[in-house]
Structure 1
Amino acid sequence: MDFNKILQKHFFLIAFMLVVSLQVRGQIAGQLANNPSNLKWYRIKTDNFSVVFPKGFYFQANRVANNLEAIYLPVSSSLEVDPHHLTVILQNQGSISNGFVTMSPRRSEFFTTSPQNYNFLGTNDWLNLLSIHEFRHVVQYERAFQGPTKWFYWLFGEQSAGFLANISLPNWFWEGDAVVTETALTKSGRGRIPQFSALLRANVVEKGVFNYEKQTLRSFKDYIPNHYVTGYYLASSLRRSHGKDAWAEVLDISYRKPIRPWPWSRSVHDVSGQYVADFYDSTFVDLKEKWEHEIDELSLTEFRCLNQVNPKVYTDYMYPKVGDGGEVYCLRSGIGDILQLVKLDVENGDEKVLYTMGPFIDPGKISFGKETLVWSEYRYDPRWLRRSYADVFAYNVKTGKKRRLTKKERYFAPAISKDESKIVAVEESDNYTFNIVVLDASTGELVISFENEANNFYSMPSWSEDGTKIYVIKHFENGNALVELDVETEEERVLTDLVEYNIGYPEQFGEYVYINSAQSGIDNIYAVNLKTKELKQVTTSKFGAYNPSLNSRTGQLMYNDFRSTGMNVVSVDLDSLDWRDAGKVKYSGIDYYQPIVDQEEDVLPLLDSMNPTQYKEERYRTWKHLLEPYSWGLAVSSSDFQNYFGLVSQDNMSTMALGAGYQIDYNEWTGKWKADISYQGIYPIIDFGVSSGYRRATVTLEDGDEKTSWNEQSLYAGLRLPLLLTNSRFSQRLSIGANYELLRVENYSVPRTKYEQIGNGNLQTVKMNLNYSRLLRMAYRDIYPKWGQRFYASYRDTPFEGKYKGKQFISDLRLYFPGLFPQHSFQLRGGVTYNDEENYAFQTNVLFPRGYSYQIFKNLYTASVYYGLPLAYPDWALGSFMNVQRLRALAFYDYGKGYDNLAGINREYNSFGADFYVDANFLRYPYLVSVGTRFVYVPEKNSGGFYFLLNISGF
């Protein structure tokens, strides 16, 4: 059997079924991410955009509208397409920095809070960077609107067209091409930032070039940079060798010729002459040579590593700080560890975990006084997912106590003074204004807010040793610089020249302020003389040196040095360092982006010097735009053997979701009309649905089977309240709800035979349920949470008039514990079901002991024990068909006991067995597919059986 021929023959049919199957997913949404209902919205309309924004945000919205119009042609030109009108929503109620483009429905959302971490932002204005990067995604989708993707749009809607576009291209292209665009059209896109590629450079130089599958689909064995990084270099490579329009040609071929296996690889071959894996190999071999040559010319700083290094487990030890006793405090995380504050014994490398971090906001730094560390954490509105805060927390390393200093504020990158009396932070308002503020370290109360009339962006503030000065990175129109602020007079002194490359992490020790700087093309530690303003390069690192700190007891400089095994804490004698004048430092970066920059128009002068149009704002009333259909036509459910003809809608503000249409059931060969609505614009979510149709079944009677049919109508209405309660290292959610359902059956022609069935008449039920979860955040290698609890309870009753009566209570509890070794998991699960059936028995979703058929009992108790573990991380690439990342197993024991079932029999159940999984990618798609087998043994039957298992994550 020729697999390739079969795949080629049926590829389009497989793609068709895969795409339309997406339509059935969540025709009514669980919880939509939206804003408080009292928020007023406005809109600016331009030729190509509708910018929707909250009240009071007009100035920035008008700037975004002008920027989007200015970049419309430059961002679109290399893909040779003109996107149609787009809605852009500016989200200013949160403290998260992000942006996205979606086809459900088609829109883009900008989260307007600027990131403090300079390795993300560079020297860009955040809204400018978002405009370019996210609009490039819009351009990519528009280019996809051809061939079968266009057919799918007309037949099935925006969501299916977008999904087909996504699975037609690897994720490294989507983000890599966008990073290329932001790099070419700004002076500080991520492609210009050395830290962006540090992990890739270290892996390639120290471990060699991984195969294409491992590099693009990632690995549990080695820490692989994300698809932004890999994609940036691959997307750049084709444009460097084949010109500005090369990717437009690749996309045309890929979208117009999808009826063949691996259309992406073949399309790359048609343009470059190489299939995608060969194209990757040649690109990365060339990069390896360039990076090795870059390193060969360096005279590297020799240092002592203070932390333990495990070559098999990537681990970062970030932001080292020295305590009074010479101990070192830092943040540890990695492929097998979540973020924790640890204390290092510098003599023997021993580590002690002091605290596991919560929703930490990483500004690229952390601050330490004498015995107190401070940082900011996200705090979430429990109901409105688009609203969040950035509050300041303090942790005393001596007492082990953590304090929350502020509530519902927007304070970023806090730094505590050496005497621990005050804290400096950057305040960013929801109107995109920035201020340096000083807080009382004991109470968190505001003491000083520095004026900032020009609204310059500030990042990474720190204190002078005597607490009279603040050192901070300030963004100007033509670059950034290190500045000194006098706390008493509020006077400002610029200490460095304006530069377009990254500088950050200022720390003052003696007569110098030490900073991170990318001046040489590789990040290193530099020092600025406070009197003369002379700038010196202090370290020379192979892949990057960061985050300086001085050990005053030993006179040693301590910092982070990056390698393929992670970010290490190292120290070196200051006297042994080769301090070089920064003006004489040789630039050693490879500037991979430069040919692409030469291909593009320079849009920056246009953004900086354009004469902005003052657009008119108008009220945007959400209720007028509640219907925004994004999916229509046919939908397929492979699990339920059903087709659905209709439409699915969700408004741009995520207030209401709606699904309506006609559903066909192929098991029964029947159909029904149905409609479901979920209104989420008020605090409790309101759900409502109706259906009406024809049903058919075969029932078993005493004298044999008989076919029957009936008419069935249903109506449900309910309220639910989902709450996000995360405020620590545990992700915590609670959902409570109640609903009413009416089911009416007519023309049922045979006797009712089972208590879980209904005949002619009405069944009116009320259901109340509660879901609660509290789960420890997981590291990349984790299969299950190390600690956690999941609890579910529901109660059903028939309190109203009707022919059928019954009651049911269900509870299910699952507990997670760490196993014997890293990434092992021990779990306990228990369930209780109580049925009081007068003449009707509800179905249940409590896990029944495996190996047995489900049976109804008045009282049912179940318990399970699990032990899960990884077996290996093989990284087997079986050509382009399969990439095996992990082998794992889960052993289990199930117990059940039922009382007073309808047949009058009490029973006990026992079974045990194991699941074995292969976690792999197929056909180079990023979705991790778990394929496995389950063996179950039932002692009382002295028999066992094997079952096939399949799960797809991220789909």
Structure 2
Amino acid sequence: MLLITTAVFAQHFGGNPPAIRWQAIELKKTSIIFPQGFDSTGSRVATLLQRIDNLQDSSIGDHRRKLSLILQPLTTVSNGYVALAPFRSEFMLTSPANPFSQGSITWTDQLALHEYRHVEQYSNFNRGLAKVFSILLGQQGQAFANALTVPDWFFEGDAVYQETFLSRQGRGRLPNFYEGYRAIWEAGTHYRYMKLRNGSLVDFVPGHYDLGYQLVAYGRNRYGNNFWKPVTQDAAAMKGLFYPLQRAVRKSTGRSFPEFADSALNKSRSILVAHEAGQRDKQPVVNEENPFTTEAGELLFLKSSYKRVAAFYLRKDGKEEKIRTKDRGLDNYFSYAGGLLVYAAYRPDARWGWKDYSELQLLDIHSGKQKRITRNTRYFSPALSPSSDSIVAVYNDPGAANALDLLDAAGRLLRRLPNTGNYVYAHPAFAGDKIVVAVRNASAQMNLLAIDLHTGVETLLFHWANTVIGYPRFREGSIYFTASTGGVDRIFSCTTDGKGLQQWDNTIADSSRLGQYQPDFHKGALTWMQFSANGQKIIRVPAGSLRPKPVPETALSVSDPLQVAALVSSWNDLSAPGQDTGFAAHRYRKTTRLFQFHSWLPYYEEPEFSFSVMSQNPLNTFQSALSFVYNRNEGYKQFGFSGTYAGWFPWLQAGVNYTIDRRGIFQQREIFWNETELSLGVGVPLNLSRGRSIRNLSGSVKLVYDKTYFHEPEKSQIGNPDYYYLDEEVRFTNQSLQAVQQFNPPFAQTLRLHYRHAIKLFDSEQLLATTNLYFPGLFPNHSIVLNGAGQFRDSTSGIRFTDEMPFARGYNDVNYYRSLKWGVNYALPLFYPDAGLFQIVYLLRVRANVFYDHAYAKDVQLLQSADYQQFRSTGIELLIDSKWWNQLPVSFGIRYSRLLDPDRNGYTGSNRFEFILPVNLIPAGVNSKTPVVQ
């Protein structure tokens, strides 16, 4: 469970090319590290962090911990995080393509306001028993303790509150932020707290950001701005070992936590929802997005569900036709014209995890054929011209101003439109001889901009407003778009010069406060996407139901949907434009704090006790560990160090172990010796993912040197022999995309080859080959998995390498001279409980796997036969996908194996039961076992 909380942040180990030159700005408690050329961004972040600190806000506590903050400009992903083990943060600088998801605040400002709240949280949650965990385990111990006691909804809800309170917008002021809860409440759906807390694999449940903000805002609005400080401090300190946060809420309010949560959500519901429709029609969750009406009157849209990945569809007369599965992308936006469809697809760099691309794909909706028309680009929100011979797209590079690029249908750049206002663009569209695009200025205000393609003249259609505008689309002489008004998102239209502003009300909108997005107008009918309790749905309203009404420009405005008093009365607009404090940047050496020990892990697995101390430098290019191992059987003590440097290509790996007092039997007497093991290796990790496939290829070669030191008289008889061996491994995986309910990919292939062989003193060698092939079952969430494996070693005396053979299930595995195995599995879901136990464990799904394994083994010594012996078994595995402490995902279960052949390793009985635990639940320790010399 310790690993669960930190493993997600290790995925970009060594993710930046070595050519980057780093700089840093040093604040009292923060080192802001960024590539050369991003001084202004680093200075802006430093200014905001200093402004936050100057507020001396103690609503969560006033302690601040020293932090390393790295700015990452090469990824197209818009995100940020703060993590323990080690304590660090990373900002991904590419701004989101869709303004409705995050609002119009400058992206780096929002990251600073939001993520720095996590810094404040972690700095003040190291107390009580959490402090004891941090003493025992380091930062990893605090991460574990905080995950058990402070729910993720508080971490994120409190951070959303800060970004909202300290700016003129923030997600707490955005109508789109509440669409999930509005949808389920308008349908008359009222989920219990544990379901809202843990989610569901069957029903649509809004996320923990949405839940957390409502609970945090209600607590501060009802009980004061300092309400959460004693609550979270008691929870982090584990006062009341079970349910500490719930106990702290009761202590501060005199009400039980369920009563508190119900009151908070009831308050939100009374404000956000105009009416409730009663019991909703319980249907599977299906999402329909981005409607376009084709020339033939067909509805073109993107569709996905919990059982199916996103794909493009055509619908006419109630019949649907699938065109093609969509490539992996950062959003689901696309454009259509003249039988062609264009969208942006995500592709990672083959080597560097912090570098990736957003490339344009052109799809023929009639033939289903698709081609990639740009390579190694950063394009977003592309739009086709009516004649489908040209494309306009946003080029988003954090190192330069946003740009609008005009390309031909082959992806060749025709020209780049000048960005005279230094705007951030969203959702450009062709409008006759103009381009219309939603724009955001430095003051976090939005507008629509029309650009004449012939003259280049720019025209702002409205006054700048503190609002969110997007999805403009030119239809039948007018521009249709979505904008916020009065706490909801509605459809508006105007001419290409901004005149004739109208709001499109209708009988459906009159009875609902749900937002209307991605409008399309065709022959008098208006179509849009709208949230529902069963997913996003496409709504089409005929002309007779439409009632457009003229409105003033002041209708385009954001107002706080929840009417939280602290937000309505005033705000501290820290993100307002102004002169950033002049901060001097200095060169940041890549070797800075190369050894930064952050966590330590005692671990016991019979017969070994180990203690490891882990280190990682701020740039995450060097990870290392010091270790001590005591073996109770032999009584030996081992001291070791291992490290991997990933700042170059390939990775460099090295390690040293020194073992004293190894014990064995020689010539019928007990002997002792010491042993030194040195290793040096290289690794090549490649991410070859593209399109609809996720592919990874990695290879490594390690040279290991082992030297033994015997005592007399064995030293005179044997000497102090040394030997070398090579350890070579190749891994390959290729898998298709997975839907929410698919626990296995519909199609996938894995291959592993592991070859170890001595190159001095001994002739020992061992080869392992394994493969798994995944296929769809009889129904969408069923899966067929075929396994194959073989392990072959030498029969000479010398080194005996560790056995890695996945043998037939149920049998006790032995390192045979020759082993072969094939197996077949059929996996299927049984039911989805959506139920919790004692507020600790939440059961999401129960599934089964029926298997048959057929293994062969050959070993004259162990099997007393020169022929292959067979080992067959069949059985069933029952697995439960759950969340523990309402936060940590854990899959566990039980396996029953029926042995069809005798177990030839001294065990009797044909029925075997085993518990199945996840490999990431219990750490495996750091000790790499030295091959046994025989």
| TM-score, normalised relative to structure 1 | 0.89
1:652 is the counterpart of 2:618: yes
Give yes or no for contact 2:164–2:172 (8 Å, CA) kept in 1: yes
Change in CA separation of 1:749 and 1:602 when aligned onto 2, cut-off 3 Å: farther
- In structure 1, which of residues 579, 593, 614 is the aligned counterpart of residue 548 of structure 2? 579
Give yes or no for contact 1:100–1:109 (8 Å, CA) kept in 2: yes
Change in CA separation of 1:898 and 1:873 when aligned onto 2, cut-off 3 Å: same
Change in CA separation of 1:351 and 1:761 when aligned onto 2, cut-off 3 Å: farther
Aligned residue in 1 for 2:926: none
Q: What do residues 87-110 of structure 1 show as CA deviations (whole Å, max 9, x unaligned)?
A: 221111121111111223222111
**Distance in 1 between the 2:732 and 2:801 partners?**
23
For structure 1, which segment, 253-262 or 192-201, has the greater mean C-alpha deviation from structure 2 after superposition?
253-262
1:347 is the counterpart of 2:309: no
**Structure 1 residue 481: deviation in Å?**
0.7
**Distance in 1 between the 2:281 and 2:825 partners?**
29
Change in CA separation of 1:668 and 1:354 when aligned onto 2, cut-off 3 Å: farther
Aligned residue in 2 for 1:99: 80
**Distance in 1 between the 2:630 and 2:205 partners?**
45
Give yes or no for contact 1:644–1:663 (8 Å, CA) kept in 2: yes
**Distance in 1 between the 2:886 and 2:155 partners?**
14
Aligned residue in 2 for 1:769: 729
- In structure 1, which of residues 441, 445, 453 is the aligned counterpart of residue 412 of structure 2? 445
Change in CA separation of 1:938 and 1:39 when aligned onto 2, cut-off 3 Å: same
**Structure 1 residue 631: deviation in Å?**
1.9
1:378 is the counterpart of 2:378: no
**Distance in 2 between the 1:668 and 1:278 partners?**
58
1:391-540 maps to which residues of 2 (within 5 A)? 391-442=359-410, 444-464=411-431, 466-475=432-441, 477=443, 479-530=445-496, 533-539=499-505, 540=509
**Distance in 2 between the 1:43 and 1:886 partners?**
47
Give yes or no for contact 2:106–2:442 (8 Å, CA) kept in 1: no
**Structure 1 residue 260: deviation in Å?**
1.9
- In structure 1, which of residues 816, 820, 823 is the aligned counterpart of residue 778 of structure 2? 820
- In structure 2, which of residues 489, 505, 525 is the aligned counterpart of residue 556 of structure 1? 525
Give yes or no for contact 2:428–2:435 (8 Å, CA) kept in 1: no
**Structure 1 residue 62: deviation in Å?**
1.5
Change in CA separation of 1:382 and 1:165 when aligned onto 2, cut-off 3 Å: same
Aligned residue in 2 for 1:566: 535
Residue 563 of structure 1 aligns to a residue whose secondary structure is: coil
1:713-724 maps to which residues of 2 (within 5 A)? 713-724=676-687
Change in CA separation of 1:590 and 1:879 when aligned onto 2, cut-off 3 Å: farther
Unaligned runs of 5+ in 2: 903-908, 923-934
Change in CA separation of 1:145 and 1:776 when aligned onto 2, cut-off 3 Å: same
**Structure 1 residue 792: deviation in Å?**
0.4
**Structure 1 residue 338: deviation in Å?**
1.8
**Distance in 2 between the 1:865 and 1:34 partners?**
37
1:929 is the counterpart of 2:890: yes
Residue 571 of structure 2 aligns to a residue whose secondary structure is: coil
Change in CA separation of 1:897 and 1:152 when aligned onto 2, cut-off 3 Å: closer
1:920 is the counterpart of 2:882: yes
**Distance in 1 between the 2:828 and 2:492 partners?**
45
Aligned residue in 2 for 1:365: 333
**Distance in 2 between the 1:524 and 1:112 partners?**
30
Change in CA separation of 1:845 and 1:185 when aligned onto 2, cut-off 3 Å: same
Change in CA separation of 1:415 and 1:743 when aligned onto 2, cut-off 3 Å: same
Residue 716 of structure 1 aligns to a residue whose secondary structure is: strand
Residue 374 of structure 1 aligns to a residue whose secondary structure is: strand
**Distance in 2 between the 1:538 and 1:29 partners?**
48
- In structure 1, which of residues 596, 599, 610 is the aligned counterpart of residue 566 of structure 2? 596
Q: What do residues 151-181 of structure 1 show as CA deviations (whole Å, max 9, x unaligned)?
A: 4445543332233223320111111111111
Change in CA separation of 1:166 and 1:930 when aligned onto 2, cut-off 3 Å: closer
Aligned residue in 1 for 2:911: 944
1:892 is the counterpart of 2:851: yes
**Structure 1 residue 761: deviation in Å?**
4.0
Aligned residue in 1 for 2:652: 686
Change in CA separation of 1:864 and 1:467 when aligned onto 2, cut-off 3 Å: farther
- In structure 2, which of residues 249, 257, 273 is the aligned counterpart of residue 276 of structure 1? 257
1:860 is the counterpart of 2:819: yes
Aligned residue in 2 for 1:782: 742
1:57-456 maps to which residues of 2 (within 5 A)? 57-74=38-55, 76-258=57-239, 260-292=241-273, 294-295=274-275, 311-344=282-315, 346-348=316-318, 350-362=319-331, 365-442=333-410, 444-456=411-423
Percentage of identical aligned residues: 27
Give yes or no for contact 2:442–2:577 (8 Å, CA) kept in 1: no
Residue 579 of structure 2 aligns to a residue whose secondary structure is: coil
Aligned residue in 2 for 1:873: 832
**Structure 1 residue 658: deviation in Å?**
1.2
AA of the residue aligned to 2:184: N
**Distance in 1 between the 2:352 and 2:746 partners?**
28
**Distance in 2 between the 1:510 and 1:744 partners?**
82
**Structure 1 residue 933: deviation in Å?**
1.5
For structure 1, which segment, 853-862 or 718-727, has the greater mean C-alpha deviation from structure 2 after superposition?
853-862
**Structure 1 residue 669: deviation in Å?**
4.5
**Structure 1 residue 643: deviation in Å?**
4.2
Aligned residue in 2 for 1:727: 690
**Structure 1 residue 832: deviation in Å?**
1.9
**Structure 1 residue 257: deviation in Å?**
4.1
Change in CA separation of 1:240 and 1:669 when aligned onto 2, cut-off 3 Å: farther
Residue 697 of structure 2 aligns to a residue whose secondary structure is: strand
Change in CA separation of 1:197 and 1:39 when aligned onto 2, cut-off 3 Å: same
Give yes or no for contact 2:774–2:784 (8 Å, CA) kept in 1: yes
**Distance in 1 between the 2:303 and 2:120 partners?**
39
Residue 864 of structure 1 aligns to a residue whose secondary structure is: strand
Residue 89 of structure 2 aligns to a residue whose secondary structure is: strand
**Structure 1 residue 427: deviation in Å?**
1.2
Give yes or no for contact 2:271–2:562 (8 Å, CA) kept in 1: no
Give yes or no for contact 1:857–1:901 (8 Å, CA) kept in 2: no
AA of the residue aligned to 1:675: F
For structure 1, which segment, 717-726 or 622-631, has the greater mean C-alpha deviation from structure 2 after superposition?
622-631
Change in CA separation of 1:670 and 1:467 when aligned onto 2, cut-off 3 Å: farther
Change in CA separation of 1:532 and 1:656 when aligned onto 2, cut-off 3 Å: closer
Change in CA separation of 1:934 and 1:121 when aligned onto 2, cut-off 3 Å: same
AA of the residue aligned to 1:818: P
**Distance in 2 between the 1:108 and 1:324 partners?**
49
**Structure 1 residue 478: deviation in Å?**
5.5
AA of the residue aligned to 2:622: M
**Distance in 1 between the 2:265 and 2:328 partners?**
36
1:545 is the counterpart of 2:521: no
Change in CA separation of 1:134 and 1:355 when aligned onto 2, cut-off 3 Å: same
Give yes or no for contact 2:12–2:353 (8 Å, CA) kept in 1: no
For structure 1, which segment, 137-146 or 252-261, has the greater mean C-alpha deviation from structure 2 after superposition?
252-261
**Distance in 2 between the 1:30 and 1:531 partners?**
48
Unaligned runs of 5+ in 1: 1-17, 298-308, 752-757
**Structure 1 residue 520: deviation in Å?**
3.2
Give yes or no for contact 1:709–1:749 (8 Å, CA) kept in 2: no
Give yes or no for contact 1:417–1:467 (8 Å, CA) kept in 2: no
| TM-score, normalised relative to structure 2 | 0.91
For structure 1, which segment, 883-892 or 837-846, has the greater mean C-alpha deviation from structure 2 after superposition?
837-846
Residue 951 of structure 1 aligns to a residue whose secondary structure is: coil
**Distance in 2 between the 1:721 and 1:870 partners?**
37
Give yes or no for contact 1:75–1:135 (8 Å, CA) kept in 2: no
